[in-house]
Chain A
Amino acid sequence: MVSIQTEDFDVGAEYEALRGSGSGTGAVATFSGLVRDSGDLSGVTGLFLEHYPGMTEQVIQGLIESASQRWDVRQARVIHRVGRLALSDQIVFVGVCSAHRGDAFAACEFIMDALKTSAPFWKKEITGDTEHWVEQKESDLDRSQAWELWPSGASYSADPDHKKTAR
């Protein structure tokens, strides 16, 4: 399930929901991303996040489907906040449950890496009274592309035609 929201989220409640996904679940991997004080600039005091409603949900749902083709994914949950966020606020949550830890870790990391380079979100850093749109990082593209070389299961494709057929 995918949620894009301005409200905060409760990692404990999300974990409990994933844990209750069935008796075949043996592992839950979760990731949380937070607002930190240095990005493109130092002295960041907050963030503003914009997204493309509709497309964002479709892209992330497609990533969950791609992950489910490659690994044993019993259930996956993605929450991404938008709007104005303060230092240390939670930005994003990815949780995956699986029979075994290897699949849970890999699927969780894959969804997060691919989200960063394919889901239509844009981050603006706020430092005091100035604002700055964050630039896409080469290191994020490298991490996302590295999953295409991962040697198991059906491979993820960043090809836009693949995303169309996954809709």
Chain B
Amino acid sequence: MTDQNLTVRFFARLREELDTDSLELPAIPGQTVETLLSQLAARGGRWAQLQGDQPVMVAVNQAMAKPSTPVKAGDEVAFFPPVTGG
């Protein structure tokens, strides 16, 4: 990973349906979880589900985050379905 990139990870159903474990994307100044999600959903096809009916949870640097959470170079952002352990 370079200093200008962020890492995006996917888990469980999202990982399978997007056929993607992780991505390296160039960080964009002023980016938030919400703008990153829109950017990914705009890829179309199966990626559109990131802004679909099913809830998507997000963590930034392994702590639960909100749509307004800022995202910057070097961050690890993870998208996943609601958790079902135990």
Contact = CB atoms under 8 A, between A and B. Distances in A.
A58 B59 CA distance: 12
A145 interface: no
B1 interface: no
What's the interface size class on B, roughly? 10 to 19
A49 interface: yes
A54 interface: yes
Q: B11, B62, B66 — which one has the most chain A CB atoms within 10 A of its CB?
A: B62
A133 to B, nearest CB: 4
A91 B86 contact: yes
Nearest to B78: A52
A63 to B, nearest CB: 12
B78 A55 contact: yes
A55 B62 contact: yes
A26 B12 CA distance: 41
Contacts of A167: 63
Nearest to A160: B64
B26 interface: no
A53 B64 CA distance: 14
B86 A122 contact: no
B85 A49 contact: yes
B74 interface: no
Interface of B: 9, 11-13, 15, 59, 62-66, 78, 80-86
Given A52-B11, A52-B59, A52-B80, 9 more contacts: A80-B85, A80-B86, A92-B85, A119-B83, A123-B85, A133-B81, A135-B84, A160-B65, A163-B63
11 contacts: A51-B85, A58-B63, A115-B85, A115-B86, A120-B78, A120-B80, A120-B83, A121-B83, A124-B12, A136-B81, A163-B64
